[in-house]
Amino acid sequence: MSKLSLSLACWDYDRTRALQDGRVQPEGIDLNFVPLRVEEIFFRQLRHAEFDVAEMSLSSYVMTLSQDDPPFVAIPIFPSKFFRHGNIYINGNSGIESPSDLVGKKVGVAEFQMTAGVWQRGVLAEEYGVPVDSVTYWTGGVEEPGRIEKLPLDLPDNLSVTPIPTDRSLSDMLEKGEIDALMAAVAPSSFLRRSEGSPVTRLFPNFVEVEADYYRRTGIHHIMHTVVIRRDVYEANRWIAQSLVKAFEAAKNMVYADLSETGALKYMLPWVIAEAEKTREIFGTDDFWSYGLEPNRKTLVKFLEYSQGQGLAKRHYEPEELFAPESLESWKK
C-alpha cells in the first residue's frame, strides 16, 4: 500500500530534525519537510493554505476558529515554547524603571495578534498591574518597514492600535524615543547596539530569574506555536492526526537523549548537561518540553483567557476545542 504524501512546513528545530532528516517516519505518511522561517510559514499558510501540515502561531490559529469554515485543525504539538519576559525592551530615557511605569506609554509590537504579544500583555496586566488598555500600541516591522497584520482585527473600542508609517521600523523608533517600549519576539538591532550607546535595554534585565520564578509559581510555560493540518486534508484522512503526534513525540525524545549524553557533548554549550539538570529541577519533570493536552492544559486555559480578553478570540474556548479528537487519545492505557 502506498503512503500518503504530505507537505510539512516547519522551522529547523532540534526537536523536529529527526522528521526533517528521515530518522523518524510518520506511520503511513511520506513526509516532504519544508524548512522555512516561521514568519514565512505563517504568512503563506494563513493567506493561501499552501501546506498540508504546518507550524502555526497559536494566536493566529485560535483566531481562525471564528471563521465560517475554519481552514485548519490543530494537533497538541508545540514546537515553540518561549517565556517572553526577556523580550520586552524599553528606551532607557523614557522614565520606565519598573513594569508599572508602562502605563500611559507608547508600546510597539510587530502585530497585535502575534502570540508573543498576547502573552506579554497578559502577564503585564495580571502580574504587574499594567491593564491591556492602559497603553497605546504601535504596529509594524521591527527591522523592515511595511509589516502588516496577517489576519484582520476587530478589537474593542478601548484598545488603541495604530500602524506606524510604512517607511519606519519599530527598532529605530524605540532607539529615538518615538515609542517607549517594544514587545517583541526577536531582539531589535537597537538593543544589540547598546554597547555602542543605544539607550535600548530590557524591561527585565534579570529575565532568567524572573521567568524561572514565574514558572515555579504558575506552572505555565508559554506556548508560541502549534501544528495545524489543513482541514480538507484532515477530513479525508483523519488517521494522520495520531500518526503525526507519535512522530513528533519520537523526534522530540531523541533530543532528550542527546541532552543527557556525557560521552561527548552533542551541543556547543560547555555546561549544557548542568543546564538540562537545572531545567528538570525547575520543571519537576524529565519531560520539560511536553506535548499533549493534559500536561499543557493550564497554559492553554490561560492563553485562551488572554486571547478573548484582548479582543482576539471571539468567544470562550475550552482547550479540547482546539485539537483533532483523534490526537487527544492514545491506544496505550
Residues 115-127: tens digit of each pLDDT: 999 999 999 999 9
- Please give the pLDDT value at position 329: 86
**Residue range 190-217: mean pLDDT, rounded:** 96
Task: Report d(CA 65, CA 56) in Å as an integer.
Answer: 13
Residue 333 confidence (pLDDT): 53
Q: What is the pLDDT of residue 90?
A: 98
Residue 171 has pLDDT above 80, yes or no: yes
Q: At the fourth CATH level, which superfamily is domain 4-82+222-252+287-328?
A: Periplasmic binding protein-like II (3.40.190.10)
Q: Which three cell numbers stand for residue 230?
A: 489543513
Residue 306 confidence (pLDDT) above 80: yes
pLDDT mean across residues, the chain: 96
Q: Span 139-167, mean pLDDT?
A: 95
Q: Report d(CA 51, CA 6) in Å as an integer.
A: 8
Edge-first strand order for the sheet with 200-202 is 161-163, 136-139, 106-109, 181-183, 88-91, 200-202
Same fold, 4-82+222-252+287-328 and 85-218: yes
| Average pLDDT of span 199-220 | 98
DSSP class per residue in 231-267: HHHHHH-TTHHHHHHHHHHHHHHHHHHHHT--SS-SS
* Model pLDDT, residue 164: 98
Q: What is 85-218's CATH superfamily?
A: Periplasmic binding protein-like II (3.40.190.10)
DSSP per position, 136-170: EEEES-SSSTT---SS-----TT--EEEPPTT--H
- Average pLDDT over every residue of 298-317: 98
Q: What is the pLDDT of residues 69-106, one digit of tens each?
A: 999 999 999 999 999 999 999 999 999 999 999 999 99
Domain positions in the chain: 4-82+222-252+287-328, 85-218
- Does the pLDDT of residue 330 top 80, yes or no? no
pLDDT score for 1: 63
Helix H or strand E encompassing 57:
strand 53-57
Grid coordinates representing 294 are 493534559
Q: What percent of the chain has pLDDT over 70?
A: 99
